[in-house]
Each structure stands twice: as structure tokens, then as C-alpha cells.
A and B are shown apart, each in its own frame.
Chain A
Amino acid sequence: QSVLTQPPSVSGASGQRVTISCTGTSSNIGAGYDVHWYQQIPGRAPKLLMYANNNRPAGVPERFSGSKSGTSASLAITGLQGEDEADYYCQTYDSSLSAVVFGGGTKLTVL
């Protein structure tokens, strides 16, 4: 069981908007640690998608955005495209565990 909780799956029609939640506790997200997001296309290595809550690395489309509030964070994707089908993971640091922690991952299906 992951320290950070994500929905196992989300789906949306092409062109629509979806959000993926990442729920933590007072020892990780709630403690003020930044949240990062990774995208992993099946069979490939993960790729950094969003860092420090709401910052996109170069090359990541503006359709992707992130936010953080309290003990949770969210990744939003607008204008869904077929190429967005992938697994998405949130990640932060947990001070009680003294460990880097990942969410369990969310599989995005574009209908």
C-alpha cells in the first residue's frame, strides 16, 4: 500500500479534461514538501512531467498543470489526446519515514 493515494484509473474522451488526485498526510504533502509528477508510457522509463507542484519541464505541453493544497495535490490534463494514455505517478518526501515516496499510480485511458 502506497503512502500517497492515487485513483487506480481515470478516463476521458479525446479533447476533454481529467484530473488525477494524490492524497498524502501531514508528514509528507501536508508538511509542505513539494509534489512531482511522472508520466510512464507502457514499456518505457518514467519521464518527469511536473515538478515542484506546478512547474512544467521544457517540452511538456501547457495542457498539463499541477496544484497542491493541504495534504493533497492534483494533476490536470486538458484537451486530452491519444498520446496522453499512460500511467501517472505523484512523488514527494516523507519526514516520518525519512524516505522518498511515490503514489501507487493512475492509469489514464483516452476514450
Chain B
Amino acid sequence: QVQLVESGGGLVKPGGSLRLSCAASEFPFDDYYMSWVRQAPGKGLDWVAYISSGGITINYAASVKGRFTISRDNAKNSLYLQMNSLRAEDTAIYYCARYDMGYGAPVVDHWGQGTLVTVSS
């Protein structure tokens, strides 16, 4: 049973930083692209970033480019999201997501339970 467990969420002031982690288990982590997807309260799903299995290919949504950094440690089966210069509009549940790249668009075949990030003074 694939498991993705996020941690690191919390309350942070505007302009502050936070680092999210996602611990993966029960699958060969270094074989898969991984992603972060967020959902603001009462809103829809919003893709944040993805990273290739070896960490070479990285892509960000325009709204977070230059502020957020996605990374992974395959030896620790872990995915990370470093979030800097946080804004109120970054308030959301952040989901760790596993991609299947075998189709004509990346598909999230497993989701974590999410971690809540609240940006407020």
C-alpha cells in the first residue's frame, strides 16, 4: 500500500518561510516523478511543482516560481518543498502526490493526506 505522509505545515507570518516534507513508503521512490499540489480553503486543486525521479527535471507554477523550491532525497525516500516569501494567498492544504508519467499527461495516482499551511499575521 503506497504511503505518502506530509509534515511541516503550520502558521507562518507573511514574508516568512516554511519547509514541507513528504515521507514515501511501500514503493520504489526513486522510480517516480513527484509533485506538490495545493488547495486553498474552499477552493479547487492548484498544481505547485513537480520533480523528476532523479531530481534533474523540475517545473514550477508561475505563482510560486522564484519563491518555492522542490527537492528530493532518494536515499531517504523523501520529497521536500521549501517555501520562502510566503503570502496570504499561499494559505492552503499542501498535498504530496506521486505521478505516473506513462500517459499523455502526468497523472497523480496516489495522494498524501495533506498538511495545512496558514500564512497570517
Contact = CB atoms under 8 A, between A and B. Distances in A.
Contacts of A101: 47
Interface residues of A, number: 29
B75 interface: no
Contacts, number: 69
A57 B109 contact: yes
A85 interface: no
Given A34-B103, A46-B95, A99-B62, A51 B47 contact: no
B73 interface: no
B107 interface: yes
Given A45-B114, A47-B111, A102 B44 contact: yes
B61 interface: yes
B106 A93 contact: yes
A102 to B, nearest CB: 5
Given A45-B112, A99-B59, A100-B50, A2 B44 contact: yes
A64 interface: no
Contacts of B105: 33-36, 91-93, 100
A34 B45 contact: no
Chain A interface main SS type: strand
Nearest to A104: B44
B95 A45 contact: yes
Nearest to A50: B107
B113 A105 contact: no
Contact of A99 (B61, B95, B108, B114): B61
A32 B45 contact: no
A51 B103 CA distance: 8
Given A32-B104, A48-B109, 12 more contacts: A2-B44, A33-B104, A34-B105, A45-B111, A45-B114, A48-B110, A51-B100, A52-B107, A87-B44, A91-B108, A101-B47, A102-B44
Interface of B: 35, 44-47, 50, 59, 61-62, 95, 100, 103-114
5 A-B pairs with least C-beta separation: A34-B104, A93-B105, A105-B44, A100-B47, A33-B105
Interface of A: 2, 32-36, 38, 40, 45-48, 51-52, 57, 87, 89, 91-93, 97-105
